[in-house]
């Protein structure tokens, strides 16, 4: 899990970002932003749909979890690696909220461990892990992502 200080820094950054953009957004725009994030999870995790991923990401997409800009092709490659590692990979939103240009969600991922992951040999085990992700939407596309995924619990499931 992320340290408390790291989570506080992320939340402070997001709050400052929201304060800068004080213009109200309509419910229709907020709903469209949430629908985009859900469609992105469907494309990346549930179906691995490269064309949808390309359409959903801004050309200058920045992933704060990796600390770099990522092209759609890099996101697709990462998704393909996760699907290779975890068979039957799926993600479901447990909670999703939107305010201004940010969508935040708590998600649960499920799959079966079938190839090495972070040095752990395939176990064949079914796993379930959770995390929180924040997405910035700009001009109908995803421009930024902050993710805190509980990989400690995932590793525990694979090692125990």
pTM: 0.83
Task: Kindly give, in sequence order, each residue whose CB lies less than 8 Å from that of residue 60, ignoring residues fewer than 6 positions away.
Answer: 69, 143
Answer yes or no: is pLDDT of 2 > 60. no
Residue 11: the pLDDT is 67
- Residues 15-60 pLDDT 10s: 666 556 555 668 889 999 999 999 999 999 999 999 999 999 999 9
Question: Taking a C-beta distance cutoff of 8 angstroms, is the pair 106, 21 a contact?
Answer: no
Q: What does the pLDDT look like over 85-121, one tens digit per residue?
A: 999 999 999 999 999 999 999 999 999 999 999 999 9
């Amino acid at each position: 899990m992320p340290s408390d200080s790291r989570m506080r820094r992320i939340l402070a950054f997001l709050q400052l970002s929201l304060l800068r953009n004080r213009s109200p957004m309509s419910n229709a725009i907020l709903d469209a932003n949430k629908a985009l994030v859900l469609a992105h999870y469907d494309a990346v995790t549930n179906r691995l749909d490269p064309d949808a991923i390309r359409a959903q990401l801004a050309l200058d997409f920045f992933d704060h979890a990796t600390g770099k800009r990522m092209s759609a092709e890099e996101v697709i490659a990462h998704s393909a690696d996760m699907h290779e590692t975890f068979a039957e990979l799926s993600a479901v939103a447990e909670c999703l909220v939107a305010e201004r240009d940010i969508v935040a969600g708590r998600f649960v991922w499920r799959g079966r461990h079938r190839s090495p992951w972070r040095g752990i040999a395939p176990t064949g085990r079914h796993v379930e892990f959770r995390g929180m992700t924040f997405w910035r939407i700009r001009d109908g596309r995803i421009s930024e992502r902050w993710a805190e995924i509980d990989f400690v619990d995932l590793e525990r499931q694979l090692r125990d």
